[in-house]
Structure 1
Amino acid sequence: MIQSPEVFVRSTMAREGERGATWLAELPAIVDELLGRWECVPDGEVMHGGVGLIVPVLRMDGEPAVLKVSFPHPGNRYEPDALTEWGGRGAVLLHERDDQQFAMLLERAQTPTLAQVGTGDEVATVAGQISRRLATPAPPHLPRLQEQADTWEEQLRQEAAELPHVLSTYIVSAALATVHELARDQPGTLVHGDLNARNILKADREPWLAVDPKGWAGDPASDCGTLLKSRSVVLVEEGELRTAIRRTLDIFTEASGLDRERARRWAQLSAVQAAFSGRRRGFRRARQGAELDRLVALVDELAVILTAPD
């Protein structure tokens, strides 16, 4: 039986508590059953993402693949639907799925991510190209991002009133305006939902392939916020953040074919939401201490930069 990496065990337990402990205890048997059913054998070191265990395998015909089993959570439910719809267009291929176990047998990409090996403008260019390729009509059963607009507005107003913060009324009002003007009426495009450089892998079939989609229907420009938040951690160490963020926004929107102003507004909303959620719950990178303070200050700065139109 496989053994889950210790880091994955600790993070799952910290995040999910008793439910996580129960699932982790059952996970080796789940993996063994799926390996047998899908006629695969392990082929390498067990890996993990934020919420899923990843087992490199070989199929009966010798084709390399990966078995991914995620912690059962509503946020992971529509990943196989998105991958099915794309059919390998800009994303890894889905070979098999077991929705009850939140499990998939996927095309194996290479280990390096765009975040690890992408240089300079390449990250924004590749992410934009992937975004363009993934922009297909969403299946009608997928959840609509516009249905979250009321919740977003309520959370923004509540957190702005309750949490100590340094964001001006103008910055918060700009985020609320985006909810009113963009979030409530969105196109029915299939949206990745977490398009950052860590979720784009080098591959053999294509140079780069996306992984770990959320599978929502909405405005593809909304994915710009995830990219800029993740890139800001790197860009702030390389020089003047304002210039770097604007350049990244320029390159991403040109490569993706998205409207720059629309993408900027979505990214500003995302930064403001992150500024509040970071104060309330921390980030995956840090839950407390000096590193959390640094990240909160960074998303505050990002919100300021993205509030002012160029």
Structure 2
Amino acid sequence: MIELPEAFVRTTVDREGEPGATWLAQLPGILEELLERWSCVPDGGVLHGDVGVIVPVRRRDGTTAVLKVSFPHPGNVHEPDAFAVWGGRGAVLLYERDDDRFAMLLERARTSTLAEAGEPGLGGAGTGPGDDGSGGGGRHAQDDRVACVAGRINHRLAVPAPPGLPRLRERADAWEEQLLRDAEELAHGLSRQAVDAALATVSELGRVQPDTLVHGDLHPGNILRADREPWLAVDPKGYAGDPAYDGGTLLKSRALVLLEADNLRKALHRTLDVFAEAAGLDRERVRRWAQFHAVDTALWARRHGFRMGRGESWLERGTAFADRAAGLLAERS
């Protein structure tokens, strides 16, 4: 019987309560059933993310893969749909799927992420098609490489979305309502200009978006080192909308790095400019979506806190970053 990681068990129960405990009790049996059905054997220790477990496996023909099973949640429904459309273009390949089980058999990438490649002392994330990850250079060079790789992945994933995927434009009314409610009800440090800029983005960009497949959570931790290609995306939400939307996801994930910048305004715009150029996107649209994400994050943090149990210090620093980013990005560069 496959043993589940203790940390995953604990956080799942804390987050999901009794439904999570019930699912966890069934999960080892589900994994065994899928291994048999898809003719795989375990090939390494069980890994996990926030909402799912990942079992490295070896298939009958000797190729490697991973079996991923996630806690049933609406946010995970369209992950296999996105992989199926991409067909390995900038993302890991989908070999098998069981939508009722929220399970997939996927191409195995490496465990190192673009986020790790961008950390000081760990080498840079190269930007070219033949990048070997040796990188080099200083802090700015590392930051630029992370943003460039993320932008190039964004460009590769921007293909026509199939019918049936959730359209981001359909969330615009809910975004506006939530922003107005939170800005009125919560004590916060956001300027009126910052809130108004986010509301303008929802009104002017949020309600009219293309039917383009959008990852929806394209941060460096969801871009893995691989063998078939230098970098491959994992864990998509599978939305249809504006590819510039994911510029804000990138920026949020770089908060701790950007907080160390001598000139935060310059660092914010530089990161977004590099991302936009690599992705072939309009830099102004990327800036506006990133500013919307910053306002949304600042208000969300005050109402709900941040996930992952990072503690009060991270809550304060993360909220302060979102406040500052929201204000600085409300100003045109």
> What's the TM-score once normalised by structure 1's chain length?
0.98
3-state DSSP of counterpart to 1:31 = helix
**What's the CA shift for 1:237?**
2.5
**What's the CA shift for 1:285?**
4.0
CA distance in 1, matches of 2:257, 2:328: 16
The question of 1:163 aligning with 2:186 is answered yes
**What's the CA shift for 1:6?**
1.3
Aligned to 1:50: 50
**What's the CA shift for 1:232?**
2.1
Q: 1:156 to 1:287 in 2, by over 3 A?
A: farther
Aligned to 2:128: none
Aligned to 1:190: 213
3-state DSSP of counterpart to 1:187 = coil
3-state DSSP of counterpart to 2:100 = coil
Q: Kindly report which structure 2 residues correspond to 1:1-310, keeping only aligned pairs within 5 A, or say none.
A: 1-118=1-118, 119=124, 120=142, 121-286=144-309, 289-310=312-333
**What's the CA shift for 1:286?**
3.9
3-state DSSP of counterpart to 2:229 = coil
Matched residue type, 2:326: A
Matched residue type, 1:237: E
Matched residue type, 1:29: G
**What's the CA shift for 1:236?**
1.4
Name which of structure 1's ranges 235-244 and 193-202 shifts more when overlaid on structure 2. Answer: 235-244
Matched residue type, 2:18: E
Q: Deviations over 1:134-183 (max 9, x none)?
A: 00000011110000000000000000011110111111011000000000
CA distance in 2, matches of 1:11, 1:210: 24
**What's the CA shift for 1:284?**
1.9
CA distance in 2, matches of 1:5, 1:43: 16
- Give 5+ residue unaligned stretches, structure 1: none
**What's the CA shift for 1:238?**
4.7
Q: How many residues of Structure 1 are paired with residues of Structure 2 in the alignment?
A: 310
Determine if contact 1:221/1:266 at 8 Å carries over to the other structure: yes
Determine if contact 1:190/1:216 at 8 Å carries over to the other structure: yes
Matched residue type, 2:44: G
Determine if contact 1:282/1:288 at 8 Å carries over to the other structure: no
3-state DSSP of counterpart to 1:139 = coil
CA distance in 2, matches of 1:306, 1:169: 13
3-state DSSP of counterpart to 1:54 = strand
CA distance in 2, matches of 1:123, 1:279: 29
3-state DSSP of counterpart to 1:100 = helix
Matched residue type, 2:186: L
Q: Deviations over 1:210-253 (max 9, x none)?
A: 00000010000000000001112222125432222111111100
Determine if contact 1:232/1:241 at 8 Å carries over to the other structure: no
Determine if contact 2:255/2:318 at 8 Å carries over to the other structure: no
Determine if contact 1:149/1:183 at 8 Å carries over to the other structure: yes
- Give 5+ residue unaligned stretches, structure 2: 119-123, 125-141
Matched residue type, 1:38: W
CA distance in 2, matches of 1:282, 1:199: 22
Determine if contact 1:286/1:292 at 8 Å carries over to the other structure: no
